[in-house]
Amino acid sequence: MTCCFNTPETPQPTIDDIPYALYSEDGVYMVKVVNVCDLLTDIYGEDYWSNWDIDYDSSHAAVIAWCKKHNSYYYSAARKNFKIFIAVREAIEAGNDTVVVEDLS
């Protein structure tokens, strides 16, 4: 006799089908962290990364528009200065419950 436990996987939480992770600076207040790559893929589709017709100014404006619509803070920094805890803290200080993060390296 074979027994199989079909335990459902915990689904990835999403905002408008964009995955996010939950982070907390204080262990109580949770902030949704969205990777800018996931957001841009959702906005422009999978071919975004090979489409040279979409420039940084246009894609950045689309990210900022998404942030305004979803009570989100935008955080970017070069890799050596990039810290999730700083992004979360700045989002909280700005009154946002979500932060879109971009590593500029």
Nearest to 59 by CA among 48, 73, 68, 70: 48
Q: Which residues pair with 72 in a beta bridge?
A: 98
Residue 54, pLDDT score = 84
**Separation between Cα atoms, residue 43 and residue 18, nearest integer Å:** 10
Give me the pLDDT at residue 33, please: 97
pLDDT at 7: 55
3-class state of residue 51 by DSSP:
coil
pTM of the predicted structure, to 2 decimals? 0.83
Instruction: Map out the domains of the chain as residue ranges.
Output: 14-103
8 A C-beta contact, residue 7 and residue 1: no
pLDDT (tens, 9 = 90+) of the chain, 105 residues, equals 455 555 556 778 889 889 999 998 778 889 999 999 999 999 998 887 777 788 889 999 999 999 999 999 999 999 999 999 999 999 999 999 999 999 998
Residue 6: its pLDDT value, please? 55
